[in-house]
Amino acid sequence: MIQGSSWFVRDQTGQGAQALAIQQICVRIAGPEARIRTADLPLGGVQVWAEPDSYAHDRLWAVHHRMAREIGLAGWHTEVGPDRLLVLGWSAPALDHRARVLRNALEHRLGDHERTASLALRTAARLLCRPGADPADIAAQTLDRVAQDLRWPARLAVLGDLERTSTVEPLRIRLAQVTGLEERVRRRCAEHLDIALRAIRTLAGLTAPPPEPQPETRLVGTAERLVAATVPNRSPQ
């Protein structure tokens, strides 16, 4: 089917699983206060909307557009109507865009292990200062914060169980390319979360530092040593 300069294919296979994945994407973007609804379209595809009383009218428009961007990033052709989105099928340009974004993530954010270690240390150190801090809760909250910064763990989790296929050869090739890139991103995210966990364990196991330096200096020095110890290809000075 031709749609301007973009082409996409309506697909009725796996409608239930597809609608669920789309709904989960929208809930993650719109927030827990939004009541997201989906319904299958007669000729294939899914319509999705947030209940009007979930948001003020002016905010609802913005929420629908944010949801459309994230659904488009997943590879679907999405059109924004006055009160709902129409998710009409896999889109070649959308899948190409997803592949570019995945490659960019591998090259930039997911290539920066030091940022992950530093973020984990800062987050865990702040949580450790709270009275009665529980180490298990600190680890869970810190890993959640790192996963949010990486962005891709949540995105990949939503589509993990969805069978993505097409009867159109060019789309099938693109879906296979995207799936391969996603697997690389998934492995890289696991590496980052492992780095974060090792940083948390190292911080929790520290002995009391010497009393001489001022607190700010001591914190900076400790962070630098821990980052060097947890980030690959770096060694403490």
In whole angstroms, what is the distance from residue 10 CA to residue 45 CA? 6
Fold of 2-91: Gyrase A; domain 2 (3.30.1360)
Q: What is the pLDDT at residue 95?
A: 98
pLDDT of residue 4: 34
CA distance 227 to 220: 11
The low-confidence residues of the chain, meaning pLDDT below 70, are 1-15, 205-237
Q: If we measure between CA atoms, which residue out of 221, 216, 226 comes closest to residue 124?
A: 226
d(CA 4, CA 44): 19
Query: What is the distance between the alpha carbons of residues 121 and 227, in angstroms, rounded to a whole number?
Result: 8
Residue appearing with tokens 């801090």: 133
- pLDDT reported for residue 228: 54
**What is the pLDDT, as a whole number, of residue 198?**
92
pTM as predicted: 0.78
